[in-house]
Structure 1
């Protein structure tokens, strides 16, 4: 508690030191402001210093309150430890003689509550307070703290009021001087001459009034702001003492809830008839209280049982939901596995199809090259036959027929039949996958949709047409040559 109060005191000292440094730094400005209306501004500064002294006095007075509070705690601790340590060591408290005593005056804030608590501890050796009494004691502390705060708040408002008074005085002085200047100007204009030196001298009065108003307002508002801040720090320190005292009182006091046991049982241990009656009434009340408590506990147990059943049902719902979600997850996992295997098989099939297509394309290209070579050989043989016929001058039809038969046999050797050539393609490509049922007919949609198969059909048609043209045109050319 002392540490928290010192923190608030240090804050107040820091604020006051900052104000002093600011005034020393702008001492010329402060001096000019005070000289504009010395009496009023010095009054404002004096009221401010009085408020500062009130704030610091409120904080410094808490030291005596703290010492009184510590004495109460010490007395209570002695009472609690006297029963334990007093029997073994009657002089157990004499160690305090080694430390100097602290003189405590009657506290001002704790005041009445300090007297009441100390008297109760010394008389009954315990602290038993009713709820109403405790509330009254706490409200008494709050009232005394509010009185100190109200005085500081009044001083703060007084500073604002003095600043406004200075403002009004300055405005009235300025308005009066301006009116006199206007009157003098009117009289001078009527006389036909204006004295500018007199006019300049008269204009100083409104400026002095403005300086008075501004300086008084500045001092009043600034000092009220600073004093309000100091009052806030002082209130925090006082509240620290109040909070700690309330916490200690609530922790050590015993709240009265009914008749005291000492009223039922005499101090000498004997019971009277009235005491028996009060004791019987108290026991009956306690019995009723226990019965009501038992009924409340029974109803509470039933509520807890219903709550447990509801929680069990919710647990079953959640378990079934978890199992259902787990089955869905398993089905989804199996589906993903099947889709993955299907995609892998499709990918392998596409790769195999691509490989077979590539091999067939290579075989077709090789067949086309061989066909072109054979055509070239047949044409060269045809040219040789015709040239030999021209050189020999053969005119016999039998010779021409023999030459044509020789040419036709050469062409048959150069161009085998289309069915034999196409039947050799799978064997040349080295793939048995396309033999048999997997070969497509010319009218198959797969051949129509595949450009490669379309090229194969065109190639077969060109070979057949070449054979027909060759068989037809060779005899005609031979006849023409003959």
Structure 2
């Protein structure tokens, strides 16, 4: 029992209000006001030399005094919060309402310790029955607490520095006014010395002293402001020193208080945690309810993820199917292109055949032209010998002319058919038609070949009907001499 009592008492903060707002601070402040009261008449005279500046200096002094005491009183409020935590640990009053009350007290009294890690330690109080800090929590809390306290102390130091600067400002301000007044006085006195005087130099000397008196009185502005500023800065320096000493002691106590609530640094807490800190049934129910809730949410999220993956898989399958269709379509286009090339080769062969079929007709026309020339020669020869034969030849010539007209007509039809065939070939190339167009092209080629054969046979028959013995006569007449005695 003694060891438990001693262990619990050593883990508490052993400070009071008068150890934070120390007697040294109170005595220093009291002495400042006592001295000010004793010198009130002289201070009053100096104050009214520059009331605006001196009032500002006194305002800064009173504000710094208030700030110094307020900083240490905030430490006392933090001490009250720590006492409440110690009381909750000793009474094992760690239900939810007590924890919420401690959190409210942390927000109001323990503002300098109000960080998230401290809230987590208060939550551990309901589980372990005592404040349980980790190394990281302890380090962060102590660092934040020390930083906040140094910031508040620096405010008092800053105000003390401002007092020194205000005193210097008053000094230079008063000296500047005094120098200006002395210059004006000396200028007036110099004029009075230059002017003639009935009473001699005594009046001039008195006027000079009277002129110099007013600027010298203005020096009070400079020295009064310096006095108030430096005295206030000196007083605040002592006050901040005594207050800082109390603050350092409190920091050491808070650091020890936190370290003793780290389980690995306090064996007493480790032994206590082995058998006395079993979670309550309500805590287990709340934990299980939270676990079930989180599991349900996790299952819902997993279902949404699975649905998204399924939709993504379906989209990929559709994309693969579309890709396969595009591949098949490209394959069909390639095969159609190959078939088109083969058909164009067939069309080329057909055109070559047509050109070969047209060549005999051209040779026939050439022979007809030669025959006409020969007939013309025969007509000229027969005109002189036999008029009847000439009429017969003329008749045959007219028939041959008609035949040539028919041949020309036939060649025009053939040209039109050939143009149509070329147009059909062009259409076949553009539209890429299949087997039915190839059959139509073959029919057209066959029809054109038939027409060419008919033309060739018709020309040959006509020629033979008109000149049945032309070939024999020609063979006979080739050896006969012409009218001019030359061979035909």
For normalisation by structure 2, the TM-score amounts to: 0.45
TM superposition score normalised by structure 1: 0.45
Larger Rg: 2
